[in-house]
Amino acid sequence: MEQRRRLVTAIPGPRSQELMARKKAAVAFGVGTTMPVFAAGAGGGVVVDVDGNHLIDLGSGIAVTSVGASDPRVVAAVTEQVRAFTHTCFMVTPYEGYVAVAEALNRLTPGTHDKRTALFNSGAEAVENAVKIARLATGRPAVAVFDHAYHGRTNLTMAMTAKSMPYKHGFGPFAPEVYRAPLSYPYRDGGLSGADAAARAIDQLDKQVGAANLAALVIEPIQGEGGFITPAPGFLAALADWCRKHGVVFIADEVQTGFARTGAWFASEHENVVPDLIVTAKGIAGGLPLSAVTGRAEIMDAAHTGGLGGTYGGNPLACAAALAAIETIEQDGLIARAGRIGELLTARLSALRDGDPRIGDIRGRGAMIAVELVEPDSGRPDAALAKAVAAAAHRRGVIVLTCGTYGNVLRFLPPLTISDDLLHDALDVLGEALAG
Ligand code: PLZ
């Protein structure tokens, strides 16, 4: 696949427009799309649409295709597995791939303690299971989450997610016993230190919930949908300490930050935090649906036999893909590559910020970087600008996503297989889009 941006029609082209009309007639209105084009192929750092346009991919299908969307090792492993068998159900007739993925996760996740893993299909399903396990292990009901959090769209995870529109609006009532605490948000909390921000959150949880009632505290080490908010140093560690002291299960939701994305296998490592349970999905399996809960054996094994599972959890094709994706990340040095992508993006975005006060903040780690766009005088979030810049980039053939509670954040999540040339071209386009 040619690794360059090349537009042969307007965006969207005629074939995409035709498919969009069919989508409108056949697919539920609630299922939206970022881009107005339909994909025909993808790999490296590009997505090719049905009209033959080559677009630069700065989204990885929302942080999924870290090894690219057609990595040859993933394709070969899945092809071999699909020929052998597609499914038996691990709960009926188990197979080695599931066990091998569990072993790999137990090895790769932070901490040298004895661990166990259970596999599921989606990030939300894994978050739900982490909470189930923590409740059973502690015998406590309450769950602490944070401002701006995103944990999914199922009923429990909607309750855990902060933002109403579009994720929760009208879909309640929501699950009880979910309590929200203030986050560390260095750009908007007056530079509160990590320790002070943690003390503020802990004080609120102590007073309003009580540590003795808390089964778990669930946190994204860097928030994804919430705006790539990166807490001040020490925030996560102080929360983890407090959890340990009070028997609260510390759960890191690394669905978006995991699997090499931030320049480490897991973002918790940057803060020297060892979660009790870690939730993974997205980048785990090169694009196939797979998620996991990994953690301390004594917590994970609290659930009775038959208490955890699901028809498709740890599907053989997804497990084969995960093993190949992990091998690819290790063989191709993609963790280091994520770090270099972060340096390139940060340098280019910093250059754009000089002389453009609308770029209020640049943040994130590795190949998970964002800019927060603001009204220069007031510092108020400028969602209209983010929307306009993203739309202009889309028209010029760059797939870029927005995020943030206020919708004013542009986020960059390229595949780790993208070339420097493509990144520079995309940043040129972004600069033009901002200027226009
Ligand atoms: N936890 C931290 O980022 C998924 C959602 C996109 P699922 N983020 C992308 C959308 O609009 O639905 C996510 C996440 C974190 C959990 C999830 C949920 O993962 O695989 O989408 O269920």
Provide the edge-to-edge strand list for the sheet that holds 359-365: 359-365, 368-373, 409-412, 401-403
pLDDT band for position 430 (50/70/90)? very high
Asked whether the bond before 173 is cis by omega within 30 degrees of 0, the reply is: yes
Residue pLDDT, tens place only, 366-380: 999 999 999 999 999
Q: Is 373 helix (H, G, I), strand (E, B) or coil?
A: strand
Dihedral sign from CA coordinates of 75, 77, 80, 83: negative
Mean pLDDT (whole number) for 76-92: 98
Residue pLDDT, tens place only, 20-42: 999 999 999 999 999 999 999 99
Nearest by Cα to 121 from 321, 319, 312: 312
Is residue 348 within 8 Å of residue 429, measured between CB atoms?
no
Counting from 1 in the atom list of ligand 1, the atom nearest the Cα of 166 is 11
pLDDT band for position 425 (50/70/90)? very high
Alpha carbon nearest to ligand 1 atom 7, residue = 123
Look up residue 235 and give its amino acid.
Answer: F
What's the pLDDT score for residue 403? 98
Is residue 332 within 8 Å of residue 147, measured between CB atoms?
no
**Average pLDDT for the chain:** 98
What's the pLDDT score for residue 260? 98
373: phi then psi, degrees, rounded to nearest 5: -100, 135
| Residues near 239 by beta carbon (within 8 Å), at least 6 away in sequence | 198, 201, 202, 217, 219, 250
What's the pLDDT score for residue 364? 98
Mean pLDDT (whole number) for 343-355: 97
247: phi then psi, degrees, rounded to nearest 5: 70, 25
CA 355 to centroid of ligand 1, rounded, Å: 35
What's the pLDDT score for residue 39? 98
What's the pLDDT score for residue 209? 98
What's the pLDDT score for residue 327? 98
Is residue 316 within 8 Å of residue 88, measured between CB atoms?
yes
CA 325 to centroid of ligand 1, rounded, Å: 20
Beta bridge partners of 46: 43, 56
Is residue 415 within 8 Å of residue 383, measured between CB atoms?
no
Q: Is 369 helix (H, G, I), strand (E, B) or coil?
A: strand
| One-character DSSP codes across 241-300 | HHHHHHT-EEEEE-TTTTTTTTSSSSGGGGGT---SEEEE-GGGGTTS--EEEEEEHHHH
CA 162 to centroid of ligand 1, rounded, Å: 13
What's the pLDDT score for residue 146? 98
Alpha carbon nearest to ligand 1 atom 19, residue = 123
* Rounded percentage of the chain residues whose pLDDT exceeds 90: 99
Counting from 1 in the atom list of ligand 1, the atom nearest the Cα of 125 is 22
pLDDT band for position 310 (50/70/90)? very high
Residue pLDDT, tens place only, 122-138: 999 999 999 999 999 99
What's the pLDDT score for residue 110? 98
Ligand 1 is surrounded, with C-beta below 6 A, by 62, 122-124, 127, 150-153, 220, 224-225, 253, 255-256, 281
What's the pLDDT score for residue 305? 97
What's the pLDDT score for residue 366? 98
The residue whose two tokens read 């694009």 is 287
CA 317 to centroid of ligand 1, rounded, Å: 21
Counting from 1 in the atom list of ligand 1, the atom nearest the Cα of 289 is 20
Look up residue 261 and give its amino acid.
Answer: R
* Rounded percentage of the chain residues whose pLDDT exceeds 70: 100
Mean pLDDT (whole number) for 231-253: 98
Counting from 1 in the atom list of ligand 1, the atom nearest the Cα of 220 is 2
The residue whose two tokens read 């542009």 is 410
Q: Is 321 helix (H, G, I), strand (E, B) or coil?
A: helix
Q: To test ligand 1's pocket by mutation, which of 228, 255, 284 has the most ligand atoms within 8 angstroms of CB?
A: 255
CA 6 to centroid of ligand 1, rounded, Å: 30
* Dihedral angle, C-alpha 21, 23, 24, 29, nearest 10 °: -160
Q: To test ligand 1's pocket by mutation, which of 128, 157, 161, 225 has the most ligand atoms within 8 angstroms of CB?
A: 225
Q: To test ligand 1's pocket by mutation, which of 34, 151, 219, 284 has the most ligand atoms within 8 angstroms of CB?
A: 151
Q: To test ligand 1's pocket by mutation, which of 145, 150, 291 has the most ligand atoms within 8 angstroms of CB?
A: 150
Residue-wise over 222-244: b if at least 16 C-beta within 10 A, else e?
Answer: bbbbbbbbbbbebbbbbbbebbe
What's the pLDDT score for residue 17? 98
CA 157 to centroid of ligand 1, rounded, Å: 10
Q: To test ligand 1's pocket by mutation, which of 128, 164, 256, 261 has the most ligand atoms within 8 angstroms of CB?
A: 256
CA 365 to centroid of ligand 1, rounded, Å: 19
What's the pLDDT score for residue 123? 98
Counting from 1 in the atom list of ligand 1, the atom nearest the Cα of 223 is 2
